[in-house]
Amino acid sequence: MTTARPRRSARRLLAGSAAVAASAVLASLAVVPGAAARIPAPPLPAAPAATGSTAEQTGESIETLGRNIADQTTGTGTGPSVYTGTGAGPSRYVALGDSYAAVGRIAPGSWGGGPAACVRTDDAYPVVVARGLGVGTFVNASCGGAVADDFWTPGRTGAPPQFEALDAGTDLVSLTIGGNDVGFAAVILACAVRPNIATELRPMVDGATGTIAKGFDVSTGCADVIDRQAAEALETLDGRMDSVYRGIAERSPNARVVTVGYLAAVPEDDQIIRESPACAPFMAISREERAKVRGFQESVNRVVREAAERNGATVVIPDEPGRSMCASPETRWVDFTGLDTGAVPVHPTPAGHAHVANRVLAALG
């Protein structure tokens, strides 16, 4: 009996530390504006090395990141990342979307070209798909933190409108968008970060994470963010997605469009959350609120699927169970802190991106 309180306290401390670490790394995706410009087209990058010395991989990653920052500073590297492929598959493949398309392993040797703040990596699913198809030209316009409006207007990273990557010769487009529009990050902050932070420190955390909350007020609590704020955003996402598909059709009328939804971050069974140390931050909210989080992620994929089907796109919703943030590190496709897999917090792991790429390649036949 005397050990119950210390155990609960230790668990809460662990959850709070994990939540702060996750929010801090997510906040590091916030942005430095720059001017838009096309870049030369080097060969499509090979898959990041799974082996090799840390020194070798770190050197490669630092060199690429340094070049990205230098290009962004001079205004020569703020646009899409453009690569040439073997030419055996589609002639011009353009990847659009947010961080679930752009960001994979933040680890030595994996950082790809393009604006540093977009955090494009060479193991993210669009790059894997481009390699698998043997495309002629691969144009990666995806960018961490993107919302649908960034397709028409410059993003917060300073990247130009993603639609500028499209043209009449584009014959394949992949698309992952909508999560930021409806407050995915705000839900995580309100339901798994703030509840684990001491009350007196919450204003400081709110200020530090305000950029990734993207206009949602996480101080109102988990239930309000999901039931009111995210619900209102979901109601408008349908129309916004229809506009996205019209924009693609206008610019690339002959392109096949593949819409990719979101991996399941939270498991379908609450028992899994309760038993998983990796998901300890979610134990600071009620069982009813955890059910709301699950319902929210299902609603996002439902809206994405229905809009894609309504507009004639091929749909891939890679939300198979058993691979959530609560799974063991070797099997999870989304990671809460990223510490076990090298992923950005609450983002796809390298294995998750590989799975999504396989689903896309299978859908394309």
Of the two residues 229 and 78, the one the predictor is more confident about is 229
Q: How far apart are CA 183 and CA 197, in angstroms?
A: 20
Nearest to 229 by CA among 214, 251, 246: 214
Contact between 92 and 170 (Cβ < 8 Å): yes
Neighbours of 220 (CB within 10 A): 13
To the nearest whole number, what is the mean pLDDT of the chain? 84
What is the mean pLDDT of the segment spanning 185-197? 95
**Strand pairing of 314-316 and 256-260?**
parallel
Confirm whether pTM is higher than 0.85.
Answer: no
Percent with pLDDT over 90 in the chain: 66
User: Alpha-carbon distance 186 to 161, whole Å?
Assistant: 24
The correct CATH number of 17-364 out of 2.40.40.20, 3.40.50.1110, 3.40.50.300, 3.10.290.10 is 3.40.50.1110
* Residues 176 and 101: beta-carbon distance below 8 Å: yes
Taking a C-beta distance cutoff of 8 angstroms, is the pair 121, 105 a contact? yes
Q: What is the pLDDT of residue 33?
A: 36
CB of 241 within 8 A of CB of 148? yes
Please tell me the distance from the alpha carbon of residue 346 to that of residue 325, in angstroms, as a whole number: 7
Please give the backbone phi and psi of residue 224, each rounded to the nearest 5 degrees, phi first.
Answer: -65, -40
Chain centroid to CA 328: how far? 20
Phi, psi of 229 (to 5 degrees): -70, -55
**Has residue 321 got a pLDDT over 70?**
yes
Domain residue spans of the chain:
17-364
Query: With bands split at pLDDT 50, 70 and 90, how would you rate the model's confidence at 74?
Result: very low
The CA-based angle 153-314-145, given to 5 degrees, is: 30
Range of weakest confidence among 106-110, 147-151, 277-281, 282-286: 106-110
Residue 160, CB half-sphere, CA atoms under 13 Å: how many?
Answer: 19
CB 316 within 8 A of CB 356: yes
Chain position carrying tokens 């790059």: 127
Q: Look at residues 72, 131, 52 and name the one whose alpha carbon lies nearest to residue 361.
A: 131
